[in-house]
Amino acid sequence: DDDQLPWSRSADDRLDTKYPYVCHAELNAIMNKNSADVKGCTMYVALFPCNECAKLIIQAGLKEVIYICDKYHHTPEMTASRRLLHMAGVQFRQFQPKRTEIIIDFNSINNPETLHGGAQERPEEQLDRVQEEWRDGK
What residues make up the domain containing 113?
A: 106-135
Q: pLDDT band for position 138 (50/70/90)?
A: low
Give the integer Cα–Cα distance in Å for 43 and 129.
29
| Structural domain includes residue 123 | yes
- Note if 26 is an active site residue: yes
Are the CB atoms for 4 and 11 separated by under 8 Å?
no
In DSSP terms, which residues pair with 66 in a beta bridge? Answer: 44, 93
Cα first-last separation, the chain: 49
| Structural domain includes residue 101 | no
Residue with the bigger pLDDT between 22 and 138: it is: 22
Give the angle 64-48-17 at the CA atoms, nearest 5°. Answer: 135
Residue 116 has what pLDDT?
54
**For residue range 30-45, what is the model confidence (pLDDT) as tens digits?**
999 877 899 999 999 9
- 79 and 47 fall within a common domain: yes
Cite the DSSP H helix spans in the chain.
25-31, 51-60, 76-88, 106-110, 123-135
**For residue range 62-81, what is the model confidence (pLDDT) as tens digits?**
999 999 999 999 999 999 99
| Structural domain includes residue 113 | yes
Give the integer Cα–Cα distance in Å for 94 and 88.
18
Residue 95 has what pLDDT?
94
- 10 and 41 fall within a common domain: yes
- 60 and 86 fall within a common domain: yes
Nearest one of 85, 81, 79 to 52, comparing CA atoms: 81
Give the DSSP letter of residue 120: S
- 7 and 55 fall within a common domain: yes
- 111 and 90 fall within a common domain: no
Give the DSSP letter of residue 12: S
**CATH number (domain holding residue 40):** 3.40.140.10
**For residue range 79-132, what is the model confidence (pLDDT) as tens digits?**
999 999 999 999 999 999 888 888 887 877 777 566 555 566 666 677 777 777
What is the total count of domains within the chain? 2
| Structural domain includes residue 48 | yes
